[in-house]
Homo-oligomer: A and B are copies of this chain.
Amino acid sequence: MSSKTEPTIHDLAKKLNISASTVSRALNDNPRISQKTRDMIKAAALELGYQPNTIASNLRNRKSNTIGIVVPLINRHFFSSVISGVEDVAFAAGYNVVISQSNDEGEKEQRIVRSMFANRVDGLIISIAMKTTKFDHLQLFAGKKIPLVFFDRIVREIEADRVVVDDFNGGYKVTKHLIEQGRKRIAHLTGPLNLITYSDRKRGYKQALVDHHLEVDEELIIVNNLTRTDGLMAVQQLLKLKNRPDAIFCGNDTTALSAILHLKEIGIKVPEEIAIVGFSNEPFSEVVTPSISTIKQPGFEMGQKAAQMLIEQIETKEQTATYETVTMPTELIIRESSFLKR
């Protein structure tokens, strides 16, 4: 059994017959305390098993040395890569990172963000949930000029630094690739269009069609939440059309996968009859048969960049009222699901 409570600097002070201020300064290597005293205090701290209470320190300093990151789902490869990138930079700069997931639910996102505010994180990095439509929880940060960086799924209505990928170009590249493969009726399966990522990809898709003199058929564009079931249902819907598509540009790899599995099951050949392209380069997309063509987003680098921008904001006293948007390039990875050998 150990002591009732943790030893504090006051306990240390009492034991050494000095003041708490001296202890505090010594532990923080303040040069105002002589080297000898510092050493002695540190030794005593070690001996007593003293552990600083960050909460008290944070309260006094009005700063938590912590940055928060909120993602829709931590087990999406893209998001966990971003998290690793953030941690990489943040830890090196001496910040702690608290991670949370919204499960793509607006309500949980609200709760998380408020809790992070209440815990006074020094800044927040966030990719918003699919179903988020209210932004007052983010206004909590933006309105009070607490550093905030959006990545991937940004909010246009709120001014802040942003790290995004070139979704328009990604959508364009996918579509152009499919056209070059000789496809004429290219369907597009996309997520909620209030999310700029999806609407940009769709714009790229449309632009590519137009540029290559192909008709944009709204019947071929399906909007849903891009879950595995959503992918299945979308494919079934597309197959029911009198004039079937010969390619599907899916909004993510999950739906691309479920499309492929379903098509395989009912005996439709991929890519011969219907070509499939996904988005985000989930690890499985490389290893399924056929392997899935997709767009690679530089997640780790985006995380690094977002953390750099956030820390820059945190550590710059002057509130520069200018916000920056960094756009990262995407890479089209062509695999079996869309590439016809001849």
Residues of A within 8 A of B (CB): 1-2, 5-6, 51-56, 58-59, 62, 64, 73-77, 80-81, 83-84, 87, 91, 96-101, 103, 108, 111, 114-115, 117-120, 140, 143-145, 257, 261, 283-284, 287-289
Contacts and interface: CB of A to CB of B under 8 A. Distances in A.
Contacts of A145: 1-2
Contact of A54 (B62, B75, B119, B289): B119
A120 B140 CA distance: 25
Given A2-B145, A77-B75, A83-B74, A53 B118 contact: yes
Contacts of A119: 54-55
A17 to B, nearest CB: 26
Copy count, this protein chain: 2
Nearest to A254: B283
Contacts of A6: 144
Contact of A115 (B59, B96, B100, B140): B96
Nearest to A321: B1
| Interface-central residue, A77, A87, A96, by most chain B CB under 10 Å | A96
Given A55-B120, A257-B287, 12 more contacts: A1-B145, A6-B144, A53-B118, A53-B120, A55-B58, A56-B59, A59-B59, A75-B81, A83-B101, A98-B100, A99-B101, A288-B288
A201 to B, nearest CB: 23
A288 B264 CA distance: 13
A56 B53 CA distance: 12
A249 B298 CA distance: 34
A2 B288 contact: no
Given A2-B145, A287-B257, A288-B288, A59 B55 contact: yes
Nearest to A6: B144
Given A97-B100, A284-B284, A52 B118 contact: yes
A51 B117 contact: yes
A51 B140 contact: yes
Contacts of A103: 84
B64 A74 contact: no
A249 B77 CA distance: 26
Contact of A99 (B74, B84, B115, B289): B74
A162 B53 CA distance: 28
A308 B322 CA distance: 47
A6 B84 CA distance: 32
Contact of A98 (B73, B77, B99, B289): B99
A103 B85 CA distance: 12
A319 to B, nearest CB: 8
Q: Which of A55, A76, A115 has the most CB of B within 10 A?
A: A55
